[in-house]
């Protein structure tokens, strides 16, 4: 994130806009609390220099002593360091640093995990495994390595695309250990270090991690309640010339938005014009909870598109099977990367995937029923326990994307841990760590666990509000 001081007035204005300011508590404590929140929500990157005491005091209309005391408080509590000549720099005490991976509860407590959108295996899973294992003796006759995937599975996946109206040669399919591995392979193959990848903000945090791992740079395009902003995309493509765009057009994680056909066609055209490769994550494409008009598969709109899919959300994440559907021109580069990064997925998981794909309907129906039930339970419980929280009811996907009345998502996540609730706060879904008022609530919790989770959430929210009482949470602009 930018060094606030070097950006002068506009950055300082943004700083002040994002800063919850005190009213009631001693001014210096309110100011240090506000800056701490900014660090936690990622508005202020670790290592970024805070505005000079003089500039901030003048800009906020506070005394210089107040700002000096606030900065001293931040240093004393580990939230900043001060060095002669380099000013005051944002830090985070090691104990408060959130892990970069999703928070996975250790299983030793009764923590309810809302940090990941991953469901339990459906009831038919053991039966699918048993049927798959009948094929095992034949498989054991070989070495077991299938670096780009077993032929039987690549044929099934190609048939799935055919079913969506996109003719596909099994040789275009590369099987990977899950969709995230697929995104990693594609990014490493197609984007040079330092290259740009346009993404929705918010987007799937795993993809942001993959972009980072490929040493590429995410370019955010805001995705609001109204859906994809085509002028915003056009402007971003023109201004930043990204090599690729990572998209989740089907029941987007975390918003649940489904991109309609006219928007699809137009965005596909913009990407083609800009020579930007669409990396289209279709992991959630089958999670249509309410039904409605179908949409075109992206590969049918643009033959340059690289599509990625997985069985993690329609069967179970414990089977590590995903795939890439690659345009022939990009196959050599993508295959080469796949071979460099792994020697392919487990042979047994691939047998399970093939067996599942022979007749996915019954299992999928169960998965969808459960997601619907959980969605309904959240709607009821939030309605009476947290009526001031806002959200759109998604037609499909894995989550409710909630808007909190205050930008306290990270604070809430820290407080919630003490209530036995693991959350992933909004800024984790944002490349620039904004979205502090947003929270993702997964629909993957068993329906009968929702009431308990919502109760803990309501208690944690009350404690969060109590913790910041006296702080003016309304965004305030700097009188400069
Ligand atoms: C959009 C999206 N892509 C990929 C993944 C990861 O899938 P997999 O478990 O197959 O790696 C997820 C998981 O939540 C996801 O939401």
Atom 16 (ligand 1) nearest CA: 253
**Cα–Cα distance measured from residue 46 to residue 37, given in angstroms and rounded to the nearest whole number:** 12
| Residue 320 near residue 346 (C-beta atoms within 8 A) | yes
Question: Residues 241-273: pLDDT tens digits?
Answer: 999 999 999 999 999 999 999 999 999 999 999
pLDDT for the residue numbered 441: 98
pLDDT for the residue numbered 471: 55
Question: Residues 123-146: pLDDT tens digits?
Answer: 999 999 999 999 999 999 999 999
**Cα–Cα distance measured from residue 107 to residue 406, given in angstroms and rounded to the nearest whole number:** 31
pLDDT for the residue numbered 476: 39
pLDDT band at 85 (very low <50, low <70, confident <90, very high): confident
Q: What is the mean pLDDT of residues 383-393?
A: 96
Atom 7 (ligand 1) nearest CA: 179
Preceding peptide of 254 cis, ω within 30°: yes
Question: Residues 293-327: pLDDT tens digits?
Answer: 999 999 999 999 999 999 999 999 999 999 999 99
| C-alpha separations of 199 from 330, 399, 478 in Å | 21, 19, 30
Question: Residues 224-242: pLDDT tens digits?
Answer: 999 999 999 999 999 999 9
Question: How far does the centroid of ligand 1 lie from the alpha carbon of residue 304, in Å?
Answer: 22
**Cα–Cα distance measured from residue 227 to residue 229, given in angstroms and rounded to the nearest whole number:** 6
* Paired sense of beta strands 217-224 and 112-114, if any: unpaired
List the beta bridge partners of residue 200: 221
Q: What is the mean pLDDT of the chain?
A: 89
Listed residue (245, 129, 147) closest to 198, CA to CA: 245
| Protein residues whose CB sits closer than 6 Å to any atom of ligand 1 | 117, 178-180, 204, 206, 248, 253, 281, 283-284, 310, 312, 317, 322
Written as six digits, the tokens of 310 are 């997985």
Query: Coil, strand or helix: which one is 87?
Result: strand
In this predicted structure, the answer to whether residue 100 has a pLDDT above a threshold of 70 is no
Question: In the chain, what are the domains?
Answer: 5-96 (1.10.10.10), 112-117+362-471 (3.90.1150.10), 125-358 (3.40.640.10)
| C-alpha separations of 253 from 165, 248, 362 in Å | 24, 7, 24
pLDDT band at 20 (very low <50, low <70, confident <90, very high): low
Atom 2 (ligand 1) nearest CA: 283
| Residue 325 near residue 172 (C-beta atoms within 8 A) | yes
pLDDT for the residue numbered 99: 41
Range scoring the smallest mean pLDDT among 47-61, 176-190, 392-406: 47-61
Question: How far does the centroid of ligand 1 lie from the alpha carbon of residue 380, in Å?
Answer: 27
């Amino acid at each position: 994130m930018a060094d606030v001081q070097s950006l002068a007035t506009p950055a300082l204005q943004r700083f002040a806009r994002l800063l919850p300011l005190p009213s009631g508590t001693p001014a210096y404590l309110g100011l240090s609390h506000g800056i701490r929140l900014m660090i936690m929500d990622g508005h202020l990157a670790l290592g970024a220099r805070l505005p000079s005491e003089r500039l901030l005091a003048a800009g906020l209309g506070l005394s210089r002593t107040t700002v000096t005391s606030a900065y001293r408080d931040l240093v004393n509590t580990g939230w900043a360091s001060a060095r002669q000549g380099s000013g005051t720099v944002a830090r985070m005490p090691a104990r408060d640093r959130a892990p970069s991976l999703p928070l996975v509860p250790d299983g030793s407590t009764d923590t309810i995990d809302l940090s990941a959108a991953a469901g339990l295996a459906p009831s038919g899973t053991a039966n699918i495994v048993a049927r798959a294992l009948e094929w095992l003796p034949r498989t054991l006759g070989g070495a077991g390595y299938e670096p780009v995937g077993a032929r039987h599975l690549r044929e099934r996946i190609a048939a799935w695309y055919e079913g969506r109206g996109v003719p596909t040669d099994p040789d275009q399919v590369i099987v990977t250990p899950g969709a995230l591995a697929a995104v990693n392979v594609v990014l490493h193959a197609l984007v040079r270090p330092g290259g740009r990848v346009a993404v929705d903000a918010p987007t799937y945090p795993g993809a942001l991690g993959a972009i980072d791992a490929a040493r590429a740079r995410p370019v955010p395009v805001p995705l609001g309640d109204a859906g994809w902003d085509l002028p915003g995309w056009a402007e971003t493509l023109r201004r930043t010339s990204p090599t690729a765009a990572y998209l989740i057009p089907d029941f987007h994680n975390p918003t649940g938005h489904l991109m309609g056909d006219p928007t699809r066609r137009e965005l596909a055209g913009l990407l083609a014009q800009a020579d930007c490769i669409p990396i289209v994550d279709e992991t959630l494409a089958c999670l249509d909870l309410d039904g409605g008009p179908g949409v075109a598969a992206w590969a049918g709109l643009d033959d340059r598109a690289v599509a990625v899919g997985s069985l993690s959300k329609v069967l179970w994440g414990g089977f590590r099977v995903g795939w890439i559907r690659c345009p022939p021109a990009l196959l050599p580069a993508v295959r080469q990367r796949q071979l460099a990064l792994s020697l392919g997925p487990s042979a047994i998981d691939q047998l399970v995937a093939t067996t599942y794909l022979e007749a996915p309907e019954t299992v999928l129906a169960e998965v969808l029923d459960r997601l619907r039930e959980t969605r309904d339970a959240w709607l009821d419980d939030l309605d009476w326990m947290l009526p001031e929280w806002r959200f759109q009811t998604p037609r499909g996907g894995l989550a409710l994307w909630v808007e909190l009345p205050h930008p306290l998502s990270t604070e809430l996540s820290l407080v919630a841990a003490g209530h036995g609730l693991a959350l992933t706060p909004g800024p984790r879904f944002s490349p620039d760590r904004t979205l502090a008022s947003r929270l993702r609530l997964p629909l993957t919790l068993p329906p009968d666990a929702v009431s308990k989770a919502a109760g803990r959430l309501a208690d944690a929210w009350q404690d969060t509000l109590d913790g910041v009482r006296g702080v003016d949470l309304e965004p305030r602009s700097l009188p400069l």
